[in-house]
């Protein structure tokens, strides 16, 4: 499947050059309700969820993506105010988990849920951990999680390396991006690989970001 990860142009070029991307802890995210989409008025439930959140923060790292790049809010919040780039990533379907969105926090009995200890109970809790408030729905978010043997630290940040399963296939340029040059991208692409480049603009009849017809998508090949 195709997913999109938004970031400033500088870091998009670095991702191609180094064939890696920075991944985040849950505690780094901008939503204080991460992993707590369920109602937590019960003290036991709060304790269980808080401890689970701490554990997941230690052992997992996450790459947040979107299923599309048309939303102007995505560009404003994550794409360097429309001057950045959305990396088009090829990701196996079973590697990405779609986020669910709700208007209110679901009331469940975690004690009863965990006492079952079956696959259905695990799936239900996992889905709750991947649920957010409905006003985040514009992100059309998908998450790729990495375990301790799949990411590594370099300085103050954690990274995963691209490979056969997850790779960069395209650049989508923000509508206000005026700095991108394919001659800078070309030598960064590994030999035998290529990256498509899509130029965008603000739509004329809607509030979406759309492709520029006067500048069709083109391909930049590595090693040329």
Pick from 85, 61, 89: which is nearest to 75 by CA? 85
Note the pLDDT tens digit of each residue in 157-173.
999 999 989 999 999 99
For 12-58, what is each residue's pLDDT tens digit?
999 999 999 999 999 999 999 999 888 888 888 888 888 888 999 99
188: how many CB neighbours lie within 10 A of its CB? Answer: 17
Angstrom distance (rounded) from CA 81 to CA 75: 6
Mean pLDDT throughout 67-96?
Answer: 97
- Round to whole Å and give the CA distance between 58 and 48: 16
d(CA 1, CA 76): 24
In whole angstroms, give the CA distance from residue 33 to residue 105.
10
Token output for 9: 């142009």
Per-residue pLDDT, 162: 96
Average pLDDT of 129-141?
95
Integer Cα distance of 122 and 114 in angstroms: 8
Stated length of the chain? 224
């Amino acid at each position: 499947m195709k997913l999109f990860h938004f970031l400033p142009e500088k870091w998009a070029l670095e991702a191609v050059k180094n064939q890696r991307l920075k991944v985040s802890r849950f505690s780094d995210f901008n939503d204080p309700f991460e992993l707590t989409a369920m109602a937590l008025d019960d003290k036991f439930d709060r304790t269980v969820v808080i401890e689970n959140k701490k554990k997941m923060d230690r052992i997992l790292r996450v790459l947040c993506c979107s299923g599309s790049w048309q939303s102007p809010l995505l560009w404003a919040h994550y794409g360097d105010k429309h001057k950045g780039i959305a990396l088009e990533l090829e990701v196996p379907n079973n590697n990405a988990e779609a986020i669910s969105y709700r208007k209110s926090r679901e009331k469940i009995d975690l004690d009863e849920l965990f006492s079952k200890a079956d696959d259905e109970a695990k799936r239900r809790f996992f889905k709750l951990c991947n649920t957010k408030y409905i006003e985040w729905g514009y992100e059309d978010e998908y998450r790729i999680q990495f375990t301790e043997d799949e990411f590594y630290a370099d300085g103050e940040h954690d990274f995963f390396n691209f490979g056969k399963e997850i790779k960069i296939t395209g650049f989508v340029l923000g509508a206000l991006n005026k700095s991108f040059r394919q001659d800078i991208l070309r030598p960064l692409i590994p030999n035998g690989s290529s990256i498509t480049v899509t130029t965008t603009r603000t739509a004329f009849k809607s509030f979406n970001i759309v492709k520029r017809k006067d500048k069709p998508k083109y391909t930049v090949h590595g090693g040329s």
